[in-house]
Structure 1
């Protein structure tokens, strides 16, 4: 009788899950239809020339978000007990997605369409290299849509003008960054304009006369349509926007800014957590990592203070490359060295290759030391590990192993490529990036470097601790800047005194945090969760703990919220113990 009752309960549970999963599928289908109704399909993001440059205007985006709002409560009403495992993951990620879109509209953050690294105006730096320029027809297609890009610039200037009226503006320090980044786009020399780059070296298959005619058309379009739009934007930023921009750097300075920052902390960590608790965690991590850094000073026998050791690292020529190619070669060698260690730690690897390239010149001055740019098997594009070769005296060699592990493998390339190759998951999950998971994994990958033998010298190890300290400091300075009224200089001083990052990097990083509130706290919070779960699994399973299995279960669902990851690893531990 008991077995019959158990069977009936099991069948009832399966039916409930099936019904709830069907309801979830219906909600997601409705949201997808809303997205398709309002989205603007621009093939430029797939590496194809469009007929004209189309984009979604905020009026349509606001309508779209308002259409989505009723489904927010429907998603929240579906609990873990109602859904299958994959159903609950789908629900949680879709909830995170649409909550973020609603927040952007509710707080009117769309009125600040740039951050410290750029925005709408320098997007061509990212899509132009992926467009085809092989035939005369490719160039003609480019020149057909190019004039319409001026409308995109003008529209975004209109958003900025509205932001001035509503007192929702970026702070002065970010505006000054943007004005400096505009320089390549506003110069009078057409041949130096980024839009003219495809014409500097043209395929020999295109005849000389055709090349000449195409170049003349390009110069005319850039000079008549594109350049005036950019120059008008530059003038507006200098004459109207900058004088009215806030002096104070925190997002709390704008209307409802403090509430928005609390929202960002929850979004970027995927946790119900407050800025003050993040700040406290940061202070504790800074103290812990400092002890490891001090141990390196003892190991190398440095006769001086911690501050003097940082000065030594920042000034001694042995720690800096002498040419861009040396830096790129070392990054490429480290990438292959790391790749050779992957089979020992991972049972599932990626199919998509990656390469190493310099950060594009027009964005490099205000860009970070490195970045990962995702590829696509379908579009025939590899993943790219970007290395910043600008200002070589600020590019420390002792931090390059940690940077490589984070941006290339086993960090972003491995995680993103595996996620893109997942089967039997909705498309929105395959391409959605959750910062706490992805950046947490990147930072955890730096930690894995010790087990992989990637830190050959004590200075390399200090570089790894510097990068971890950098992320711990982020918890402190991000909250300090946006929630506690810190000045930019206070944040710079705190970061500079606790890490061996070059002063140039410290400044670009602090500006990045100012321009992107909350995102910086995701790294350390994600890494702490992954390391905690690994410790939980290792402690619970003892000799039966398998690092390959653990990594498989961390990565098998793609990018997921941290509470979901925690639940997944707990289930893995329980199942493993039951074997």
Structure 2
């Protein structure tokens, strides 16, 4: 996910909140509680496993009420959660420890093949979560790229997962906002602990956060983005309901929300900014190198050393530069590759002159891509997607594009967000590859199909691994070559440019966090090796500073999927079916790389037999 990726799965994962303690009983598939241990012992391994993971998912939703809203469970829409509280941290630890111990009492060999994959996935999740909690991420709960604040603004706009269909829905949101206000106060306390522990954000990221918060402050409640649901009442609301909700929301915004956000802005300016750090990478934090290696492992779902990832990046950058130079020669450009970059990045014919023209261009491209998709896929999502501009409050620091998953119940389509803030950062020659990645058959296919799966445990439908999801999206760009969508050499250059971005990420992310690179050094490296607009490069580098390791997942995941496809093609020969291979990748949900490899190897063996 370009995670904007507040889009897609990363947005979902970063929105997780909660505080309720989970129950300790094993929960059956029908939701009832099993009181007799003997009854559990007489169950088959399959029924025990399904009951256990169903119980886990129910407990997890109680612990993470905002996550529950995102996956379409509205039982906890009044709750905000408390992911920074000591009670929450203990409950999360107990949840993962208890279910890990319980699942290991089930004999893996007694499960059918599909549930063996699910079992491996479940164990991996619990073990990684227990490692993750040993690092003090709670001391940095807000960044310019993602935060609970941004998630709450999106939810409060009425255009995200939080429902605003009934009067009770409106009241539910008011109660959730009360929890959000408490969270903001606790976040400041946690950041104070971070200051004391020297676990703080780089100074430049704090400087980006302050104007984001400024944009949320207004003396006129009706101008707040949190007021948006009041301007879009559903049909059927009475005049009295509208009047009462309007007055209540105005008071909520003016008397509670804006003062609290103002206090947070002032905290960042007056207290946190002076204590922020001058270093740019995670290695500038206590135990930062080990922490970064863990984050790299977590995001790529591999155990690759960061030095090895860095070297792969350098090799890929060199290869792609060679391909780019071939395009320069093909189009007859007179000048070297740097001059070609400069031309593509500046000449007016390569850009739209107005924001709506860019959005319309992507809508037309959607229709073109949709025509060829049936030739490459048996399974396609039922949900559609729409193209929208990034909201004004975050457009200056948001990524160039991102994806947000559709509503699980089908009531809201997926959203392909385009950042229209700087049109010179959105070249026409980059549109095909960007659409393939963020929308169809990239994130939209993978995430929507995962949500629509039947016959798999709920936790599996809604879990996510960045390497799988971003690796698939980058593979989708590669697939565009076979689809005939890059016959125009300039659009093919756009594909190479986006691939270059993912290759440079391997170099720059590891450079920043493991090799002592500065922000300026990272920016210069990207300027030297790509035609990207400088504003885009700056936003990218600062994104890597905010969420270390996430950017590694794209290229690592794509290379793994391509390697598995090559393995299958060689093993199966004429029996290889590309549509069937795509079915295998997309129809078990998001998987760690090792688990996906197990699945493809079993598929190869079955087809050979």
TM-score by length of 1: 0.89
**Equivalence for 1:121:** 149
Aligned residues: 561
Q: Displacement of 1:248 after TM fit?
A: 0.7
Distance in 2 of aligned mates of 1:224 and 1:97: 41
Distance in 2 of aligned mates of 1:51 and 1:273: 40
- Is the 2:317–2:500 contact (alpha carbons within 8 Å) kept by the matching residues of 1? yes
Distance in 1 of aligned mates of 2:170 and 2:54: 39
- Equivalence map 1:57-456=2 (5 Å): 57=83, 58-67=85-94, 68-69=96-97, 72=100, 84-128=112-156, 129-130=159-160, 131-133=162-164, 139=170, 142-143=173-174, 146-200=177-231, 214-378=245-409, 380-456=411-487
- Is the 1:34–1:64 contact (alpha carbons within 8 Å) kept by the matching residues of 2? no
Cα pair distance change 1:183/1:36, threshold 3 Å: closer
Cα pair distance change 1:436/1:50, threshold 3 Å: closer
Moved more, 114-123 or 42-51: 42-51
Distance in 2 of aligned mates of 1:319 and 1:90: 46
Distance in 2 of aligned mates of 1:139 and 1:23: 40
Q: Displacement of 1:212 after TM fit?
A: 6.1
Distance in 2 of aligned mates of 1:26 and 1:209: 46
Deviations 1:390-437 (A, max 9, x none): 122222111111110001111111111221222221100001111111
Cα pair distance change 1:487/1:330, threshold 3 Å: same
**Equivalence for 2:26:** none
Deviations 1:541-564 (A, max 9, x none): 233322112111222212111112
**Bigger relative CO (Cα 8 Å, ≥ 6 apart):** 2
Say yes or no: does 1:507 pair with 2:538: yes
- Is the 1:433–1:559 contact (alpha carbons within 8 Å) kept by the matching residues of 2? yes
Distance in 2 of aligned mates of 1:316 and 1:529: 37
Which of 559, 583, 603 is the equivalent residue of 1:552? 583
**Equivalence for 2:3:** none
Computing the radius of gyration from Cα coordinates, the structure with the larger value is 1
- Is the 2:117–2:599 contact (alpha carbons within 8 Å) kept by the matching residues of 1? no
Helix, strand or coil for the counterpart of 1:330?
A: helix
Distance in 1 of aligned mates of 2:400 and 2:146: 16
Deviations 1:80-137 (A, max 9, x none): 7675422332222223322343234210112211233231222223212244556666
Q: Displacement of 1:61 after TM fit?
A: 2.7
Distance in 1 of aligned mates of 2:129 and 2:307: 25
Moved more, 561-570 or 501-510: 561-570
Structure 1: gaps spanning 5 or more residues: 1-17
- Is the 2:63–2:92 contact (alpha carbons within 8 Å) kept by the matching residues of 1? no
- Is the 1:251–1:517 contact (alpha carbons within 8 Å) kept by the matching residues of 2? yes
Cα pair distance change 1:405/1:39, threshold 3 Å: closer
Cα pair distance change 1:354/1:236, threshold 3 Å: same
Distance in 2 of aligned mates of 1:557 and 1:135: 35
Moved more, 137-146 or 533-542: 137-146
- Is the 2:57–2:458 contact (alpha carbons within 8 Å) kept by the matching residues of 1? no
Q: Displacement of 1:191 after TM fit?
A: 3.2
Structure 2: gaps spanning 5 or more residues: 1-42
Cα pair distance change 1:41/1:556, threshold 3 Å: closer
Cα pair distance change 1:463/1:79, threshold 3 Å: farther
Cα pair distance change 1:44/1:542, threshold 3 Å: closer
Helix, strand or coil for the counterpart of 1:386?
A: strand
Say yes or no: does 1:54 pair with 2:77: no
- Is the 2:564–2:600 contact (alpha carbons within 8 Å) kept by the matching residues of 1? yes
**Equivalence for 1:8:** none
Q: Displacement of 1:206 after TM fit?
A: 6.0
Distance in 1 of aligned mates of 2:249 and 2:63: 32
Distance in 2 of aligned mates of 1:315 and 1:514: 28
Cα pair distance change 1:467/1:79, threshold 3 Å: farther
**Equivalence for 1:575:** 606
Cα pair distance change 1:385/1:154, threshold 3 Å: same
Cα pair distance change 1:450/1:216, threshold 3 Å: same
Q: Displacement of 1:30 after TM fit?
A: 6.8
Helix, strand or coil for the counterpart of 1:384?
A: strand
Q: Displacement of 1:197 after TM fit?
A: 2.7
Q: Displacement of 1:238 after TM fit?
A: 1.0
- Is the 2:389–2:418 contact (alpha carbons within 8 Å) kept by the matching residues of 1? yes
Say yes or no: does 1:459 pair with 2:485: no
**Equivalence for 1:35:** 60
**Equivalence for 1:9:** none
Distance in 2 of aligned mates of 1:480 and 1:76: 39
Deviations 1:341-400 (A, max 9, x none): 111011122211111111112111111111111012415111111111112222211111
Deviations 1:272-323 (A, max 9, x none): 2110110111111111111111100000111112111111111111111111
